[in-house]
Amino acid sequence: SVFASNDRLLPIYCVETDKKQIAISFDAAWGNDDTEELIKILKEYDVPATFFVVGAWVDKYPESVEALHKAGHQIQNHSNTHPHMPQLSKEQMKDEIVSCNEKIKEITGKTPTLLRPPYGDYDNALIETMNELKMATIQWDVDSLDWKENATPDSICKRVTSKVKNGSIVLFHNDADHTPEALPTILKCLKDEGYEFVFIEDLIYKDNYEIIHDGTQCKKDG
C-alpha cells in the first residue's frame, strides 16, 4: 500500500482529507533555547504539536522532553544521532530508531510511532525498516525555512500561511532564531481561517491507504 511509481517507497508528506485539519511539527536536534517559550505559545493558542527529537537531544535535555510531554505534546522519533539514514545498513537504521524510542519511552512512558528522518533523507531500505518496526515515516509539505540565516518573522509567517492546505504537515525547528516571534501570528491566522490543529498521528491514515507520487497519503476507496 505504500508503493509509488517505479517501486519507489515514499514517506508521508501530507494527507488528502476533506477535514480542515493540519499538523504542526518541530524538529529538535541541537539547541534548546526556545523550547520553554514554544510551550507557552502553544498553550496560549491551545495548539497540540508533534516534536521529533533526536536521542542525543533527549540525553542532554530530559527535562525539556518531560515538559513537552506534560504540556500535552507528542514526542516522536528523529533518530538517535542524526545521521543520513541511507548511508547506514538496515541493522544500523534499526538501532538508531530503537535507541531513540527507548530514550523517549523512559521519560514519557510512550513508544513513538513516527519517524522523521534527519535531513529529510530516506531510501527504500529506511521505509522498509520502518514498516518492519510498524512505524510511519513522516516528512512535511510546508517548510517554514525558519532555520535560514535570512529568515525573518514576517517571511516565516507568509511562507507558512500561504502554503497550508487541508492535511498539511508544517515543519518548524525548536531552536530557530525567529520561530517564537513568528508562531503566534501563524497560529492566529490559521485559526481564523478555520483550521483545526491535530497531532500527525491523528492526521494520518493507519490502514487502507496509498501514498501517491508527491507523497500525499490518500484513503483507498472501499
Nearest-CA neighbor of 21 among 138, 208, 190, 137? 190
* Catalytic residue check, 173: yes
Q: 78 near 28, Cβ under 8 Å?
A: yes
**Rounded distance between C-alpha atoms, residue 33 and residue 74, angstroms:** 19
Of the residues 73, 78, 82, 173, only one is catalytic, namely 173
Query: How far is C-alpha 16 from the geometric centre of its chain's CA atoms?
Result: 17
CA atoms within 13 A on the CB side of 155: 11
- Sorted by sequence, the CB contacts under 8 Å of residue 208 that are 6+ apart come out as 1, 219, 220, 222
Residue 199 C-alpha cell reads as 497531532
Q: What letters, b where the CB count within 10 A reaches 16 and e where it falls short, cover 190-209?
A: beeeebebbbbbebbbeeeb
* Catalytic residue check, 213: no
Catalytic residues: 27, 173
